[in-house]
């Protein structure tokens, strides 16, 4: 460059302080790398910024090529600075499988105690739950006690918890009151909550407030068996949770007994996602359909799995009540049953459908296209279909369906997945 006195000067003739100011305007790490590699002078001027400015480039490479970084080290990296925390959490979010299992899935008191020791070693105020999630299976009293110690110390850091109680009988009623140790919980899953949980009048203490709770899963393995006494108990158990948190729930996964709770249609005003689980001896019946047809829930996702349902006139009429809000629909259908579309209406906003088509035949016929094609008129704006063929033994080697064929039925379709399961 030419100075005012006519002499040619190089940029390096500028004072180091001015060069530093100029280089600090660089935002792209690659540009900064080019600067420090240009000459020894520029490198020396900006050497103190290398760690900060090149961290975003180096950090992902370290994670990509080093599988042995323990979770403890990653958590400490998060505490180094705000920038390091952002980068660490970004990598954790994209590499969850590396750290998630079995770090936060506890089945023994020894696992819980090891985690408590690790959590205690972290700097004061640290969050040992990187994903703010915990999964716990109670197998004995020692595991239950260790669990209580952990949530007493760090329960406010958890936003999601899955509790499984397969057989162990701990003080179940206490667990309800201990939910108070999880004040920021957004998602609560009870998988296999105890069969002997006393939910009669006065048997369960008051449910503590969980103002952020919007997602609830209630599922008792082995209890949904068609036995009238067991069914009534499951219904009471579900009802106790709905009474406590129904007004704030947006997502609910529950056995079909949910629809048999008195006045259930008025207890879930914000519900948008509903997952109903069926069993062979306890499937959806006409009264259930009547309840679903009466509710005013603004459902955008409806899933009914566990057992096939027949798309009868009554069933099609029921799901048509949600035609203006439903964006996702998942069903299990018997191949041998025809679809009665006489009561089906057009779903203008439905975008995704998942169908599990079951058959008792030795080979699933290749006429799947006809069954799916019946829905083309009513789901005109579908963008994605997932089709799972489930048969008794073997499957046809070829099914007359692909994205090209389905695009003729659903003009907006761009994603089609087909799987076969025995």
Cβ pair 142, 109 in contact under 8 A: yes
Residue 58: pLDDT over 70: no
- Do 364 and 419 share a domain, yes or no? yes
- Do 202 and 234 share a domain, yes or no? yes
State the pLDDT confidence band at 2, using cuts at 50, 70 and 90. Answer: very low
Q: Is residue 5 part of a domain?
A: no
Q: Is residue 3 part of a domain?
A: no
3-state helix, strand, coil in the chain (%, to 5): 40, 15, 40
Cβ burial of 27 (10 Å; 0-12, 13-18, 19+) is: exposed
Q: Is residue 348 part of a domain?
A: yes
Separation of first and last alpha carbons in the chain: 76
The range of the structural domain enclosing residue 60 comes to: 11-65
- Do 89 and 150 share a domain, yes or no? no
Q: Is residue 245 part of a domain?
A: yes
Please tell me which of 132-136, 245-249, 285-289 the model is most confident about, judged by mean pLDDT: 245-249
- Residue 214: the pLDDT is 94
Q: Is residue 4 part of a domain?
A: no
- Do 111 and 257 share a domain, yes or no? yes
- Do 185 and 232 share a domain, yes or no? yes
- Residue 124: the pLDDT is 80
- Do 52 and 109 share a domain, yes or no? no
Chain position carrying tokens 């900006």: 46
State the pLDDT confidence band at 203, using cuts at 50, 70 and 90. Answer: very low
- Do 73 and 109 share a domain, yes or no? no
- Do 291 and 303 share a domain, yes or no? no
Q: Is residue 404 part of a domain?
A: yes
Cβ pair 89, 60 in contact under 8 A: no
Note the pLDDT tens digit of each residue in 10-26.
676 677 778 778 877 77
* DSSP codes, 204-234: SPPPPP-TT--EEEEE-TTT-SS-HHHHHHH
State the pLDDT confidence band at 145, using cuts at 50, 70 and 90. Answer: confident
- Do 137 and 284 share a domain, yes or no? yes
What average pLDDT does this structure show over 328-347?
86
Q: Is residue 1 part of a domain?
A: no
What average pLDDT does this structure show over 36-40?
84
- Residue 304: the pLDDT is 92
Residue at a domain's end among 84, 100, 116: 100
- Do 186 and 111 share a domain, yes or no? yes
State the pLDDT confidence band at 320, using cuts at 50, 70 and 90. Answer: very high
DSSP letter for 161, please. Answer: E
* DSSP codes, 315-362: HHHHHGGGTTT--EEEEEEETTSPP-GGG----SS--EEEEEEE--SS
Determine the Cα–Cα distance for residues 31 and 256; give it in Å rounded to an integer: 60
- Do 60 and 85 share a domain, yes or no? no
Q: Is residue 6 part of a domain?
A: no
- Do 407 and 348 share a domain, yes or no? yes
- Residue 17: the pLDDT is 77
| Number of domains within the chain | 4
Contacts 24+ apart (CB under 8 A), 406-415: 406/372, 409/372, 409/373, 409/376, 410/376, 410/379, 410/380, 410/382, 410/385, 411/380, 412/380, 412/381, 412/382, 412/383, 413/382, 413/383, 413/384, 413/385, 414/383, 414/384, 415/383, 415/384, 415/385
Note the pLDDT tens digit of each residue in 403-420.
888 888 899 988 888 887
State the pLDDT confidence band at 150, using cuts at 50, 70 and 90. Answer: very high
Note the pLDDT tens digit of each residue in 71-93.
667 777 777 667 667 766 666 65
């Amino acid at each position: 460059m030419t100075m005012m006195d006519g002499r040619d000067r190089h940029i390096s003739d500028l004072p180091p302080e001015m060069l530093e100011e100029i280089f600090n305007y660089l935002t792209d790490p690659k540009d900064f790398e080019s600067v420090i590699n240009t000459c020894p002078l520029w490198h020396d001027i900006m050497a103190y910024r290398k760690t900060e400015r090149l961290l975003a480039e180096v950090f992902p490479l370290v994670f990509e090529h080093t599988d042995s970084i323990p979770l403890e080290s990653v958590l400490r990296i998060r505490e180094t600075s705000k920038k390091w925390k952002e980068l660490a959490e970004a990598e954790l979010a994209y590499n969850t499988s590396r750290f998630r299992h079995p770090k936060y899935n506890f089945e023994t008191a020894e696992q819980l105690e090891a985690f408590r020791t690790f959590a205690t070693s972290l700097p004061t105020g640290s969050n040992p739950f990187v994903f703010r999630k915990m999964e716990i299976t109670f197998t004995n009293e020692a595991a239950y006690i260790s669990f209580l110690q952990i949530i007493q110390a760090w329960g406010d850091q958890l936003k999601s918890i899955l509790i499984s109680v397969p057989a162990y009988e701990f003080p179940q009623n206490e667990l309800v009151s201990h939910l108070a140790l999880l004040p920021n919980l957004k998602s609560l899953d009870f998988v296999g909550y105890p069969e002997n949980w006393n939910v009669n009048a006065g048997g369960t203490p008051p449910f503590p407030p969980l103002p952020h709770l919007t997602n609830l899963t209630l599922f008792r393995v082995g209890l949904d068996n068609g036995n009238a006494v067991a069914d009534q108990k499951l219904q009471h158990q579900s009802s106790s949770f709905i009474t406590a948190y129904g007004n704030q729930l947006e997502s609910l996964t529950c056995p079909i007994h949910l629809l048999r709770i008195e006045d259930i249609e008025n207890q879930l005003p914000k519900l948008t996602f509903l997952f109903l689980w069926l069993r062979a001896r306890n499937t959806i019946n006409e009264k259930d359909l009547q309840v679903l047809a009466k509710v005013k829930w603004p459902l955008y996702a409806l899933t009914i799995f566990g057992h096939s349902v027949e798309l009868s006139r009554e069933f099609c009429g029921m799901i048509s009540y949600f035609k203006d809000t439903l964006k996702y629909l998942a069903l299990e259908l018997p191949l041998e049953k025809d679809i009665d579309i006489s009561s089906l209406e057009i779903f203008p906003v439905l975008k995704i459908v998942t169908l599990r088509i079951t058959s008792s035949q030795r080979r699933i016929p290749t006429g799947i296209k006809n069954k799916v094609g019946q829905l083309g008129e009513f789901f005109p704006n579908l963008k994605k279909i997932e089709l799972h063929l489930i048969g008794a033994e073997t499957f046809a080697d070829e099914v007359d369906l692909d994205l090209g064929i389905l695009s003729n039925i659903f003009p907006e379709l761009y994603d089609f997945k087909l799987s076969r399961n025995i």
